[in-house]
Amino acid sequence: MNQELELYIKEKISHLKVIDTISKVAELVDVEVYAVGGFVRDIILNRERNDLDILVIGNGTDFAKNVADGLGITNVSYFKNFGTAHFDYQGMNVEFVGARKESYDRNTRKPIVEDGTFDEDISRRDFTINTLAISLNKNEFGKLTDKYDGLSDIKNKRIKTPLNPLKTFDDDPLRIMRAFRFASQLNFNVDESIIKAAYEMRNRLSIVSQERTTDEFLKILTSPKPSVGLKLLFDSGVLEIVFPEIAIMAGVDQRKDYHHKDVFLHTLQVVDNISKETENVWLRFAALVHDIAKPPTKKFVEGIGWTFHGHEDLGARMMKKIFHRMKLPLHQLDYIQKLVRLHLRPIALAKEEVTDSAIRRFVVNAGEDLEDLIVLCRADITSKNPIKVEKYLGNYERVMQKVRDVKERDQLREFQSPVRGEEIMQICNLKPSRKVGEIKTAIEEAILDGKIGNNYEEAFKYLIEIKDQFLEN
């Protein structure tokens, strides 16, 4: 083993109080204990570490209690059926597990857990890069064990399984998603055997809860270059299972004057583009689904080519069903729908003859998400022609200048009728009803159309002018 690497590891971990306490408790109770998995991998890769996985050759929950007592921690979660426990310490999630071997019922994700040896525990782990173990025992502190050549795979940027991937994925199909997630997060290559096994085992994902599958999918979206994981999902046939609406974009041609790729490849580029600008996973998700309705709206028009009329509206409507199926947080639904519905609006507003009224409506419709929408629109430019790119960027800047001019002039930041519903009811002698909303909307429409100014005086005067026509109906 590389002595220089072990010295580096010791330097990285020896100053950590939680590690020191674990080492002292291990000596006191005379058990073997190791740091394993992602913690070790990320030390070697010099990545930030928020999770610490501790392998105990013995009772993991008892050992965790002793460590917690040593650190003065009272809030510990114990899972005695699985021999695991965890607590948070100074921003780090620390998890303890007793060495175990597992077997699986093919109809469920829940394992049958039995006590096991160090070798049995390491062999059941998902990927070779996660099989590395660091001894935390005093006599071997910092010693690295690498049974499955994980160091070599880290060096060569390769995702492999310690056992046959068919066995690995059959036991736990979620590992398919994890393989592609790690590839995307770390920018590693996936061994061809994994892609083949993922294809064969992709239908096994049905036994995994939707929440866990979605969680892994969103982690791919949060990676530095999401297209890596998304392309692997597609190549393995897994995307057809977890997000079929995205998979069917492949092979859907577009007009050559705007997009140079099919819809799927274009979408991957948009997601990568926006990922350079934001870590907001929901803005990235909007980029992923912005053209989701192009396949069902595809139509060939002579002299123009393939068109996708209304894909932005249909795409927005599709989101509700997708959110429910994928168990996505419903409080993000309106945001995603808005961005999908409006993603073509800015480019249409770039024309010189566009009215202030159209700009006002755009500002009101976009609301507080206007800046995110423009980020999405800029990311949507995937042409390789620098002249076209410059042209489109110039169009968006022209739109934003118009927006700034109108907002400054009209004070539209918090737009709503200057005359409130309570006052409308008083003036018109109305009780709370739909008619009150209709009058309020009429005033707002008049402001947006430029008939009256966005101020109380003109809005009140307009209310007096129009109220009778509503009261007569």
For residue 60, the domain's CATH number is 3.30.460.10
Beta strands at 189-190 and 158-159: parallel, antiparallel or unpaired = parallel
pLDDT (mean) for 58-76:
92
User: How distant is the alpha carbon of residue 32 from its chain centre?
Assistant: 38
Long-range contacts of 108-117 (CB under 8 A, 24+ apart): 108/207, 109/172, 109/173, 109/174, 109/207, 109/208, 109/209, 111/171, 111/172, 113/81, 113/82, 113/83, 115/83, 117/57
Summarize the confidence of residues 313-327 as an average pLDDT: 96
Show which of 113, 128, 156 is a domain's final residue.
156
Instruction: Identify whether residues 373 and 261 lie together within a single domain.
Output: yes
300 DSSP assignment: E
Instruction: Answer whether 319's CB lies under 8 Å from 337's CB.
Output: yes
Domain span including residue 454: 421-472
Query: To which residue do tokens 């809005």 refer?
Result: 459
Average pLDDT over residues 357-366: 81
* Mean per-residue pLDDT, 171-184: 95
> Where is mean pLDDT largest: 4-13, 119-128, 318-327?
318-327
> What one-character DSSP code corresponds to residue 451?
S
* Direct distance between the N- and C-terminal alpha carbons of the chain, in angstroms, rounded to an integer: 88
At residue 84, φ and ψ (nearest 5 deg) are -125, 160
Are 13 and 141 in the same domain?
A: yes
pLDDT given for residue 258 in this prediction: 47
Which of 70, 65, 58 lies closest to 18 in space, CA to CA? Answer: 70
What are the tokens at 397?
Answer: 């800047």
Tell me how many degrees the CA angle 356-360-361 measures, rounded to the nearest 5. 120
Residues 113 and 170 in one domain: no
Q: Do 391 and 287 belong to one domain?
A: yes
Per the structure, how many domains does the chain have? 4
Same domain as 406, residue 345: yes
pLDDT band per the 50, 70, 90 thresholds, residue 231:
very high
Q: Is the dihedral of CA 87, 89, 92, 97 positive or negative?
A: negative
How many other β-carbons are positioned within 10 Å of the β-carbon of residue 49? 18
**Phi, psi of 369, deg, nearest 5:** -100, 15
Same domain, 194 and 261: no
Range among 119-128, 302-311, 349-358, 463-472 rated most confident: 119-128
* pLDDT given at position 269: 94
Last residue of a domain, one of 242, 262, 282: 242
Residues 328 and 399 in one domain: yes
Q: What six digits make up the tokens of 361? A: 């409506």
| CA gap 97, 91 in Å, rounded | 20
The answer on 122 and 29 residing in a single domain is yes
For residue 419, give the DSSP letter. S
Spatial separation of the C-alpha atoms in residues 388 and 381, rounded to whole Å? 9
Other residues' Cβ atoms within 10 Å of the Cβ of residue 210: 14
Collapsing DSSP to helix, strand or coil, 249 comes out as coil
Phi, psi of 274 (to 5 degrees): -70, -25
Say if CB 455 and CB 462 are below 8 A apart: no
Residues 110 and 175 in one domain: no
End residue of a domain, out of 189, 224, 242: 242
Say which DSSP state 72 is in. Answer: T
Identify the bridge partners of residue 411 per DSSP, sorted by sequence position: none
Query: What is the domain-level CATH number for residue 346?
Result: 1.10.3210
- pTM of the shown model: 0.81
pLDDT tens profile 286-299: 999 999 999 888 87
Tell me how far apart the alpha carbons of residues 256 and 195 are, in angstroms, rounded to a whole number. 32
Percent with pLDDT over 90 in the chain = 57
Hunting for tokens 């590395």 — which residue is that?
132
* Token representation of residue 260: 């140079």
pLDDT band for position 171 (50/70/90)? confident
CA distance 247 to 241: 9
Rounded Cα–Cα distance for residues 37 and 133 (Å): 7
In sequence order, the β-bridge partners of residue 95 are 53, 86
Residue 269 and residue 152 in one domain? no
Place of tokens 């139509």: 299
Q: Are residues 259 and 359 in the same domain?
A: yes
Same domain, 293 and 383: yes
pLDDT band at residue 400 under the 50/70/90 scheme: confident
> What average pLDDT does range 191-217 have in this prediction?
96
Q: Which of 362, 453, 345 is nearest to 403 (CA)?
A: 362
User: pLDDT by residue (tens digit) across 85-116?
Assistant: 999 999 899 999 998 865 555 665 565 556 77
CATH classification of the domain holding 175: 1.10.110.30
Smallest Cα–Cα separation from 91: which of 12, 14, 18? 18
For the chain, what is the total number of helices (H) and then of strands (E)? 25, 13
Q: Is residue 199 very low, low, confident or very high in pLDDT (cuts 50, 70, 90)?
A: very high
Cβ atoms of 238 and 225 closer than 8 Å:
no
